[in-house]
Structure 1
Amino acid sequence: MPGLVIKAMQRVLNRALSKILPAALMVRLVQKSVIGLASRAALGFLLVYSLALTSPCPICKGAGQVRWEAKWAHDIPCPKCLDSPLPAFDAVRPEDVVPGIREVLARQHAALDELEKGLQPTWSGIVDPLERIADRMARAWGTVSHLKARWLFAAVKDNPALREAVEEVQPEKVKLSLRLSQSQPLYAAFRALKDGPEWASLSEAQRRAVDLELRDFVLGGVALEGEARDRFNAIQQELSALSTKFSNNVLDATKAFKRLNRALREELYRANITRASAGALDNTPVIERTLELRREKAALLGYASYAELSMASKMATLGEAQALLEQLRAAARPAAEADLRDVQAFAAGRGFQGDLAHWDVTFWAERLKEDKYSISDEELRPFFALPNVLEGLFKLANRLFGVTIEAADGQAPIWHPDVRFFAVKKDGQPKAYFYLDPYSRPSEKRGGAWMDEVCGQSRLFAQDGQSVRLPVAHMVCNQTPPVGDKPSLMTFREVETLFHEFGHASQHMLTQQEEGLIAGIRGVEWDAVELPSQFMENWCYDRQTLDGFARHYETGEKLPEDLYQRLLAARTYRSGSMTLRQVHFALLDLDLHTNFVPGQGESIFDRDRKAQDRFLCGFSHIFAGGYSAGYFSYKWAEVLSADAFAAFEDAGLDDEAAVKETGRRFANTVLALGGGRAPHLVFEDFRGRQPTVDALLRHNNLVTAA
């Protein structure tokens, strides 16, 4: 149903499927409830099996358990193990995906028919049962999506067979998702719950969960009928296919190469800004068709533009987003102009003649940075050995949030020998768990870094006498692996990235919400979800925090003060230029989804005002990811995170008691409340007021420019 899994799934769109699924549900509830649900994001696959006493559970080895025999797959875990929050990540076979999903899709359609006949408009009669189904679906989907992903981000064991299998059944998955999001009986039951006598007794979090579901029903087209509904569904199918095509074109058109002299730098620059813009891999028609369909979709739902439709599920309004971007542009432009003058003067002083071209600026800017701050990744790496960085990160988590983190390797199945497993404890009791996959594996693992959930906190799935099922997350990075006795030595940016992903994981793991629909990141608006992650990055520049882990891996020497000061100074280098660049992308995104009308004689590149630049053809965030009319979210969340960190600055970073008190307040609001409370209210609970842009401008050294 709409919303039950979308907030958990927005960061894991277009997932592949897993063998470790709620097969027990097939036996217990196949005639009484839906086998699996999803909305907008995805739909998963259950391995079908029959009762037998011939194949022991591969996890518990069948000791005291009912055993099962798969019809067409590997041995499947017994019901107790299937309900475990720790999947067997190494059990996925690509050849099981297509028959598996088709089998379960047929059963889901049949089960949905029966479910719609007996809905009860109460929390226990509709929300709890559907959370059970949606949660199991999210865990199943997340298992294989973690191993393989089609779009912008994650994949740790990708392979062509798995990609092909997922793409083959994707249209069938979308079809069921659309049917589910447009179920009139489900929508009516939720409306009746909100209008009924039980509404007054529901908590604030429960009411918000229902409101989010009702919103997502409407955005899913539940109010459309006849030809309008058919057209809406056709648009959704085509948009899904276009997103896949866009992403694949970018991947196939990208070539990795390095050029050092000016002529070859120009070649690289032009190749980059014209990626996927010509020949068979040209994304221009894909973009124009995507914008056309999004505009039509918005009109069908009663919105003046796709940007307004996008804002229906955001913290910001369209006007607020535009106003913030214009404020940042005004603050950054003078600084960006000064940046360019400095780079031009530096290049001229070293023999460069004439004005810098686009392909010259980055090259000379890096040379200026090296000259000005005398700092490099190689100079810093020896101070950032991964074991030490983890130790410091865990100390910070204890300092701020009052939790301890302990190694728990061997207590959960893993997908690669390098993967670590950790337990998070509060007051000596388990609170959550997480996996860490830190190293690059180019042959099977995508670049970048991400966090996602394995399972969320929920009272419905409590085990072993606990009041809730404990949340589990995974964090994935791509740093250099250790060599021999030499540990993995991280760049400073990799340190920031690890802290960033831990921020996401903290919101998932330290939630206090017991309703699974709005626990952790679930239910948090897209433009607020980066608050904890960007907040954590600030601590990488805090001297006390750095002293907890920044020491030479051979000598134990702490990061020298001179090097620390240079690191601080380099933090805001060209911040005006970088801010202006991101603001341009965000404004262009909103403009394309507000004002651009395909087929009216104006091209998408006219809107970008640089005819030679085909950057849009590789702008996967808005054409193959989750940021369409939402790229502004990065800057919106930066305002929140900078203002949140400013609370610690106001309290005094050298006042340990104040830091701990402020950290607990952050944990009890931003991290604890999840999607159960509107984000602007959550921020006000923490800060005592609404956010301002002041701290962001100060942190970026843009105050005087403003």
Structure 2
Amino acid sequence: MDNNPLLNYSIFPPFSSIKINHVKEAVQKILTNCYNTVDQIVSEKRITWDTLYYPLMIAENELQRIWSPITHLNSVQHNLALRKVYEESLSFISEYRNWINQHDGLYKSYQSLQRGDSGQKLSIIQKKVLNNILHNFKLSGIYLSPQKKKIYAYITSRLSRLRSNYANNVFDATLGWSKLITEKKLLSGIPDHALEIARLAAQARGEKGWLFTLQYPSYSSVLLYCDTKELREELYWAFNTRASDQGPNSGKWDNTLVMDEILALRYELAKILGFRTYFEKSLSKRMVQSPKKVFNFLMNLSIQIRSSEYKEFLEIQNFSKKNSSCISLNPWDIAYYREKQKQYLFSIKNEELCCYFPEKTVLHGMFSVVNRIYGITIKERSNVETWHSDVRFFDIFDGEDRWMGGFYLDMYLRDDKREGAWMDELVGKMYRNDTISQKPIAYLTCNFNCSEKQKSSCLLTHHDVMTLFHEFGHVLHHIMTRIDIPEISGVNGVPWDALELPSQLMEKFCWDPDVLQLISMHYRTKEPLPGYIINNLLKTKTYQSSSYLLRQVIYGLFDLRIHHEYIPGEKRSALKIFNEVIKQVSTCHLSMDWDRFPNSFLHAFSDDYSAGYYSYLWADMLASNVWCRFQELGILNSKIGKLFLNDILALGGTIDLKKCLVKFCTQTMTVEPMLKYYGIPVSVDHSMPI
């Protein structure tokens, strides 16, 4: 055990040394310490912050330090052996969480601390932590009868396993289908760089031709560009029936019963805790406290957007008829003709545009932007061990060159890597009584499509750039905190529906002309992005924006309704509700009877955004209000940047966020700035102050 790398590292995990047999051993050792720590602190007669909270904070941090690398490797170096030991260890951790969350002695100790003389002397931040802990006890069923506590423990443990099963099914279904094309004429329209990646993928499997998969970069290259309608249809069919009873792998990795059980158990869990619905329970720790308010927010948005969406659909329809004699549009045609029309209207081709966004230039420019705004400096460190040769590490320093923390950057798509882009934490900022402070470390993960040959000068699309800025916003939120108590430091303790605010704000910088100059340069000629291309690119910001926003409304309403209107015993309720939402909201949504989107909607069934997907739109609304304030004073103005940093970003979960945002923006938050940002006409009747 002394040689277990998970138990013997100081700052950075030795990823290359971590083996499967180390996982269970490390988890069990640290959990034993956690159990013993709880037993010790509840036996203390004198209850203070230092005798109660501090020892458990240290023990929980040790658990975070060993579990975070395991969880991360399960996402970025996934294999069946790791999956098995991960899920086994997850059950041990779930058991511990249930035990500690319903520990009467520990709960009474925290109550005593709050009520006693020692509690009155706590700082405002410590009192906030204490209130959060006691609230979490209530949400974990501390008041339940012994019998109901057992039911609660079973449900939470089972849900943890089901969430993992759901994600595994999507992962397996995504990798379980591929299409080898041997006739190049069928691939007309697909950009050369995407074809080269497909050719190399086929070559890696010992095949000649071009291999396409359901991993999003490969899939989207066909849906956006391929002139062969039949191929677009086949990939669309395979992608939108993943993990279901339909499609090329029908019945294999099927999530239908998994979804039914997840919804049933979430409903039962909410009822046990005294809530009417699971959605109501989820709102207890968010900015928006009422399901009705969320519903009204989403429905009012749909009312604002629907006429614009219909107009956008007619434009695509007319364009496809006029330019391609397309009589009727199918779902697999929309993205293709949307891209064609965008090229026609704005003379923007992604293959040409990405030549101006080489990865090195984009990173340097992004770091320059936050240096100007927040006064921080970012430098690469070369001697940090990583899990893959492509992964890099960067340090962040404040204006006085003090180390604030750092982040791993994992940019490229791999077969053993979970899809999407995300930020997660290795550790958070934490004080220690021995004066040694723990600095926050994050993972920034993307899945950009880049072959081995291209990695020396990987070219990004503008959408890739936005994705990178988005996740970097989460990184900044985590690392630039001033709070050194993990529960409310960085992204922790922030209302979940505001968690996307910093990331949505960072995205908006990608549409500013000055920022575009900073983050772009032709990878061969070294010429800056020409003004006429910038102008054309900026016009695309509002192109088909209503369709995008309404799609987010549909996802948000679907997530709300399955967690707020669930009827016990009703099978396939997820698919039924999804189809109802589409008919209710969209004016022109094209779908097929075999479409099974819910079966691969990770946010609603596997991620932490379940019963909270509306958060993306809510946070975008908040970010749009903040963006207006940046625009008033100059978006690269350090004065407004540091004000946002010091009054909001760096304070984590310690503040009343709504009050702080109103103060920062000097006005009440409304949906109007978001609609204007996307170029959507605003109805005064639906300005919706929050």
Same fold by TM-score greater than 0.5: yes
2:327 aligned to 344, 354, 379, which one? 354
Q: Secondary structure at the match of 2:564?
A: coil
Q: 1:459 aligns with which of 431, 437, 442?
A: 431
Counterparts in 2 of 1:684 and 1:599: CA distance versus 1, 3 Å: same
Q: Give the structure with the higher percent helix.
A: 2
> Could you tell me which residue of structure 2 aligns to residue 33 of structure 1?
none
User: Once structures 1 and 2 are overlaid, which stretch shifts more, 606-615 or 565-574?
Assistant: 606-615
Q: Indicate the residue corresponding to 2:441 in structure 1.
A: 472
Cα displacement (A) at 1:311: 0.5
Q: SS of the residue aligned with 1:251?
A: helix
Q: Does the CA-based 8 Å contact 1:85-1:454 persist in structure 2? A: no
Q: Quick one: distance in 1 between partners of 2:310 and 2:677?
A: 19
Consecutive unaligned residues of structure 2, counting only runs of 5 or more, are 178-212, 215-221, 246-250, 581-592
Relative to structure 1, is the Cα distance of residues 127 and 485 closer, same or farther in structure 2, using a 3 angstrom cutoff? closer
CA displacement, residues 440-474 of structure 1 (integer Å, 9 cap, x when unaligned): 2514433332222222222227766xxx4332223
Q: What CA distance in whole angstroms lies between the structure 1 residues aligned with 2:570 and 2:444?
A: 45
Aligned to 1:93: 19
Aligned residue identity for 2:18: V
Report what 1:34 is aligned to: none
Gap regions ≥5 residues in structure 1:
1-47, 50-69, 149-154
Given the alignment of the two structures, is residue 577 of structure 1 paired with residue 547 of structure 2, yes or no? Answer: yes
Task: Choose 102-111 or 692-701, whichever is displaced more.
Answer: 102-111
Q: How many residues align?
A: 618
Contact 1:158 1:445 survives alignment (8 Å):
yes
Match of 1:5 in 2: none
Instruction: Identify if the C-alpha distance between structure 1 residues 550 and 601 changes in structure 2 by more than 3 Å, giving closer, same or farther.
Output: closer
Go from structure 1 to structure 2 and tell me whether the alpha carbon gap of 1:615 and 1:684 turns closer, same or farther (over 3 Å shift): same
- What TM-score comes out, normalization by structure 2 length? 0.84
Which of 517, 521, 524 is the aligned partner of 1:547? Answer: 517
How many angstroms apart in 1 are the aligned matches of 2:149 and 2:6? 42
Q: Provide the residue aligned with 1:597 in structure 2.
A: 567
Partner in structure 1 of residue 130 of structure 2: 210
Within a 5 Å distance, the mapping from 1:336-351 to structure 2 comes to 336-351=309-324
Contact 1:119/1:186 (<8 A) preserved: no
* Closer, same or farther: CA 90–342 of 1 in aligned 2, 3 Å: same
2:124 maps to amino acid = E
Question: Per-residue deviation at 1:272?
Answer: 3.2
* Aligned CA distance change for structure 1 residues 112 and 284 (closer, same or farther; 3 Å): same
Q: For residue 302 of structure 1, what is the amino acid of its counterpart?
A: G
Task: Spell out the pairing of 1:52-201 with structure 2 (5 A cutoff).
Answer: 70=3, 73=4, 77=8, 82=9, 84-106=10-32, 108-118=34-44, 120-148=46-74, 155-201=75-121
What's 2:644 paired with?
666
Instruction: Find out whether 1:625 has 2:625 as its counterpart.
Output: no
> 1:257-296 residue pairs with structure 2 within 5 A?
258=222, 260=226, 261-278=228-245, 279-296=251-268
* Cα pair 1:431 1:510 within 8 Å, conserved: no
Equivalent position of 2:598 in the other structure:
616
Deviations 1:638-666 (A, max 9, x none): 0111111111112244xx6xx22111101
Aligned to 1:325: 298
- Match of 1:534, as an amino acid? Q
For residues 598 and 168 of structure 2, the distance between their equivalents in structure 1, rounded to whole angstroms, comes to 15
In the alignment, which residue of structure 2 is the partner of 1:415?
A: 387
Give distance in 1, aligned partners of 2:368 and 2:638: 12
2:272 alignment partner in structure 1: 300
Shift of 1:429: 2.8
Q: Distance in 2 between matches of 1:170 and 1:228?
A: 22
Does 2:377 match 1:404? yes
Once residues 271 and 417 of structure 1 are traced to their aligned partners in structure 2, the CA distance between those partners, rounded to angstroms, is 32
Q: Provide Cα deviations, 1:624-646, integer angstroms capped at 9, x if missing partner.
A: 11111111011111011111111
CA contact 1:88–1:414 (8 Å) conserved in 2: yes
Q: Check 1:329–1:669 CA distance in 2 against 1; reply closer, same or farther (3 A cut).
A: same
Q: Of 223, 246, 251, which residue of structure 1 is paired with 2:171?
A: 251
**In structure 2, C-alpha distance between the alignment counterparts of 1:449 and 1:601, rounded to whole Å:** 32
**Cα pair 1:503 1:532 within 8 Å, conserved:** yes
Q: What is the CA distance between 1:338 and its match in structure 2?
A: 0.4
Equivalence for 1:55: none
CA distances 1:539-582 after superposition (whole Å, capped 9, x unpaired)? 11112222223111222211111110111111121111111111
**Distance in 2 (alpha carbons) for counterparts of 1:501 and 1:602:** 34
**Which residues in structure 2 correspond to 1:682-697 (within 5 Å)?**
682-697=660-675
Deviation at 1:110, TM superposition (A): 4.7
Change (3 A) 1:433 1:107: closer
- RMSD, aligned α-carbons: 2.4
- 384-393 vs 108-117, which deviates more? 108-117
Q: Report the Cα offset of residue 622 of structure 1.
A: 0.9
* Alignment-derived partner of residue 389 in structure 1: 362
Corresponding residue of 2:139: 219
Query: How high is the sequence identity, in percent, across the aligned residues?
Result: 32
Change beyond 3 A, Cα 1:554–1:98: same
1:378 paired to 2:366: no
Amino acid at match of 1:643: N
Change over 3 Å in CA distance of 1:137–1:689 after alignment to 2: farther
For the structure 1 residues 471 and 277, does the alpha-carbon distance in structure 2 shift closer, same or farther, using more than 3 Å as the test? closer
CA separation of 1:460 and 1:111: change in aligned 2, threshold 3 A: closer
- Shift of the 274–158 alpha-carbon distance from structure 1 to 2, 3 Å rule, reads closer
